[in-house]
């Protein structure tokens, strides 16, 4: 088919419009791409801005944590067994009268310290003095009868030798002498008994110690059968402490006792803050309490300052052994974690290292370190709760130092 010039003229506007439409499409697509790229760059830069603000430099400076440190040091550490106990007097005596009579005088003051033999009270002695006079008169009479019977016996023996009397008379006189001797001996025994009762009228302290409250007042009639007595005396010097330890520790204690070792025992108050006295272990009980699995031990204390009081509750510490030259740190330096105990060691660059340690025995405010520390190393004792391994620290002076 042949295209005429007129037909070509009619198709020119259509091709021009198609070309224009394609240009506009490519221009729009290009504009959308540019907008997308610009939006991506904007969002990316906005997200990086806070990061740059939060991290102005590659190695930001850290603030040092203030802490208090103490050096590990070497000292002897005691190995102790602790137990609850009570103070028990070695002797407690309720003073009773040994004769019946009226209580005339009380010679002691309540709470007074007395010595053995000190006069405590007086019983009316007059009835016994009267009996003494009576028995002395009987003795004088019977002694005279005995003397006369002995003279007659000598006469009968002479007559018997001369065959002037029968043998029966001599035997009878010998029996009279023996009977009279028995009467005289009985009189002397009665006199000794009354004299002893006169001594008992003066009531003296049977032991040294502290007297308690008066149980009877002067003027009352006291009897030997009274159950309450006159006063109670408790020995305070020396005094004992009975305490318990677990049965598992019995072999180690017995080994020391059998070897003749003198095991020191310290008595502390209820709060375990004040040491009351120091003594030594006396003995161990002969059986175990099956309900508690413990055994009782008895220690003796001189108690020169009277800090221990009968029936007082105390905490007893038995020194079983002594660990020489142990490495110790304050107990507060020990930190705990699921992997075990550790301490923060201050290094030369003023940073800390969380170092695992093996803890030994505790002695007062110190604890021994078996493995992990050497003498002289600084450990954190205050401020450890704000630390991590490698934290920067600033050492502070210890309060009170």
pTM to 2 decimals? 0.65
Helix axis angle for 167-200 and 126-161, nearest 10°, is 160
| Per-residue pLDDT, 281 | 95
- At residue 190 the predicted structure's pLDDT band, cuts being 50, 70 and 90, is very high
Task: Tell me the per-residue pLDDT of 141-156, one tens digit each, with 9 for 90 and over.
Answer: 999 999 999 999 999 9
Domain 80-90+234-323 has CATH 2.40.30.170: yes
Residue 243 burial by Cβ neighbours in a 10 Å radius (0-12, 13-18, 19+): buried
Model confidence over 347-384: pLDDT tens digits?
989 999 999 999 988 877 889 999 989 999 999 999 88
Q: Domain limits of the chain?
A: 1-48, 65-77+325-396, 80-90+234-323, 99-232
Share above pLDDT 70 across residues of the chain, in percent, rounded to a whole number: 88
Distance of CA 273 to the CA centre of its chain: 10
Among the listed residues 116, 75, 22, 87, the one whose alpha carbon sits nearest the alpha carbon of residue 238 = 87
Which residue is listed with tokens 């070695």?
90
Q: Residue 18's pLDDT band (boundaries 50, 70, 90)?
A: low
232 versus 35: the higher-pLDDT residue is: 232
Determine the pLDDT at residue 35.
75
* Tens-place pLDDT, residues 109-128: 999 999 999 999 999 999 99
CATH top class, domain 99-232: mainly beta
| Residue with the two structure tokens 């850290």 | 62
pLDDT tops 50 at residue 389: yes
Indicate the helix (H) or strand (E) that contains 359.
Answer: strand 358-363
Q: Is the pLDDT of residue 268 over 50?
A: yes
Residue 239 CA to residue 282 CA, distance in Å, equals 11
Q: Is 90 helix (H, G, I), strand (E, B) or coil?
A: coil
- For position 230, what pLDDT does the model report? 95
Under 8 Å between Cβ of 361 and 32? no
Is a pLDDT exceeding 50 seen at residue 1? no
How does residue 273 score in pLDDT terms, banded at 50, 70 and 90?
Answer: confident
Residue 32, pLDDT score: 74
Beta-ladder partners of 288: 295
d(CA 51, CA 44): 11
Among the four given CATH numbers 3.40.190.80, 1.10.150.120, 3.40.109.10, 2.40.420.20, the one describing domain 65-77+325-396: 2.40.420.20
- What is the Cα–Cα distance from 240 to 245, expressed in whole angstroms? 16
* Per-residue pLDDT, 321: 86
């Amino acid at each position: 088919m042949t295209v005429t010039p007129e037909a070509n003229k009619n198709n020119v506007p259509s091709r021009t419009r198609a070309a224009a439409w394609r240009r506009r499409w490519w221009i729009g697509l290009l504009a959308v791409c540019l907008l997308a790229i610009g939006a991506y760059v904007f969002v990316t830069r906005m997200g990086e801005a806070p990061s740059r603000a939060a991290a102005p430099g590659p190695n930001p400076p850290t603030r040092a944590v203030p802490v208090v440190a103490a050096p590990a040091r070497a000292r002897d550490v005691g190995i102790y067994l602790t137990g609850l106990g009570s103070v028990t007097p070695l002797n407690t005596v309720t003073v009773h009268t040994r004769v019946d009579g009226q209580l005339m005088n009380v010679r002691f003051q309540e709470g007074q310290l007395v010595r053995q033999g000190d006069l405590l009270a007086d019983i009316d002695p007059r009835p016994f003095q009267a009996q003494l006079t009576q028995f002395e008169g009987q003795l004088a009479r019977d002694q005279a009868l005995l003397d006369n019977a002995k003279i007659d016996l000598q006469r009968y023996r002479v007559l018997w030798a001369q065959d002037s009397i029968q043998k029966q008379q001599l035997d009878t006189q010998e029996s009279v002498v023996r009977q009279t001797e028995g009467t005289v001996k009985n009189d002397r025994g009665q006199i000794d008994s009354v004299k002893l009762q006169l001594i008992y009228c003066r009531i003296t302290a049977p032991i040294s110690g502290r007297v308690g409250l008066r149980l009877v007042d002067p003027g009352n009639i006291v009897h030997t059968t009274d159950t309450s007595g006159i006063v109670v005396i408790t020995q305070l010097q020396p005094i004992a402490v009975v305490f318990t330890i677990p049965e598992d520790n019995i072999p180690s204690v017995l080994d020391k006792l059998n070897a003749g070792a003198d095991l020191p025992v310290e008595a502390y108050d209820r709060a375990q803050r004040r040491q009351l006295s120091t003594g030594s272990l006396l003995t161990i009980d002969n059986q175990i309490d099956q309900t508690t699995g413990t055994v009782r031990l008895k220690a003796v204390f001189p108690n020169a300052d009277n800090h221990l009081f009968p029936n007082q509750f105390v905490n007893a510490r038995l020194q079983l052994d002594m660990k020489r030259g142990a490495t110790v740190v304050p107990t507060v330096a020990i930190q705990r974690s699921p992997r075990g105990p550790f301490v923060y060691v201050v290094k030369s660059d003023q940073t800390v290292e969380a170092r695992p340690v093996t803890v030994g025995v505790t002695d007062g405010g110190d604890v021994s370190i078996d493995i992990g520390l050497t003498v002289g190393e600084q450990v954190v004792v205050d401020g450890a709760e704000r630390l991590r391994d490698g934290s920067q620290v600033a050492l502070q002076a210890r309060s009170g130092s």
